Amino acid sequence: MINSDEHPLFQERDLEGLFRKTWEIYKKHFGWLFLYSFLGILVLQSFILTSRLREFMTFDYLTNPEKMVEQMGSMFMLLVVLFVGYSMLYLFLHYYILYQEWKTEDNHFILIKESIKKFALPYVATMFLAFMILITGMMLGVIFFVIGMFAAMIYLATVFTPTSTLLIVEEANPLEAITGSFKLVHKDLWKTLGYVVVFYILYFVIGIILSSIIMAPFTGNFLEFLSPETSTEIANVSKSLLPDISPVYILMSSATSAITTPLVPIFSILIYFNLKSGQERIY
């Protein structure tokens, strides 16, 4: 179990300090973080684009609800695989950063084995609980129109930012991780919410810019897809997109995502230690 007080990242930082430290850790571990992110995303994207989930990208399912209902079972199983797959990727990235910043481990196989053995089931359960709470909050927010839905999403996204780190560092069970995250964030809610909002705005802007630059050669059919004249043409265009998905596209798409993916676990780890440090200062 990691003693958060003794971890090198245990320090309260302002917004500038958080972004500076995020960038320092990102540069320091970029090679391995990119490699593991790329391999994980490559496997998952290959799975999406070569499985039956690919069929759901066409407009046939929007114009034929009965067909969609018939395939709900298959779609559900595919989504479960993706949920577990991405959960395992983010679990390892959190675990890797935490331990490499604490006590360097050259044998990464040990880190992979430990992270899966100790936290795989609790992590998936915690992410599922967090996801269900997020969806429920957004649905309740719809009662207060679209603004309420976005307010609930932003609030819960902020609350769950340190959840993964708390689960690993404090070796909590899923319920303790969720409730502990609520308590921790509420010690300094508004400041943390501001940090998280600024981070994700920059994160999505960077992602859009990178995707626009790197994926430019593959956007021809997509631009055609944006302005079809009829619903029939929509279906035809959406089908025509599928055969154009090549191994090069999957590789480039995975590499693009892998560049930005490590930023999220790094920032969430720093938010956790930022809140823990501030909590101790208060007491």
Say if residue 151 is exposed, middle or buried (CB neighbours under 10 Å; 0-12, 13-18, 19+).
middle
Written as six digits, the tokens of 64 are: 């034929």
Whole-structure pTM value: 0.83
How far apart (Å, rounded) are the C-alpha atoms in residues 283 and 135?
34
Tens place of pLDDT for every residue, the chain, 283 residues?
677 888 899 988 999 999 999 999 999 999 999 999 999 999 988 887 776 555 555 545 555 666 666 666 667 777 888 899 999 999 999 999 999 998 887 789 999 999 999 999 999 999 999 999 988 888 877 777 667 788 888 999 999 999 999 999 999 999 999 999 999 999 999 999 999 999 999 999 998 888 887 766 655 544 444 444 444 444 444 444 444 566 777 888 889 999 999 999 999 999 999 999 876 555 4
For residue 56, which of 23, 82, 89, 29 has the smallest C-alpha distance?
A: 82
Dist. CA 160–CA 178, nearest whole Å: 7
Alpha carbon distance 255, 250 (integer Å): 8
Is the distance from CB of 192 to CB of 185 less than 8 angstroms? Answer: yes
Report the alpha-carbon distance of residue 243 to residue 241 in Å, rounded: 6
In contact, 98 and 2? CB cutoff 8 Å: yes
Where are the domains positioned within the chain? Answer: 4-282
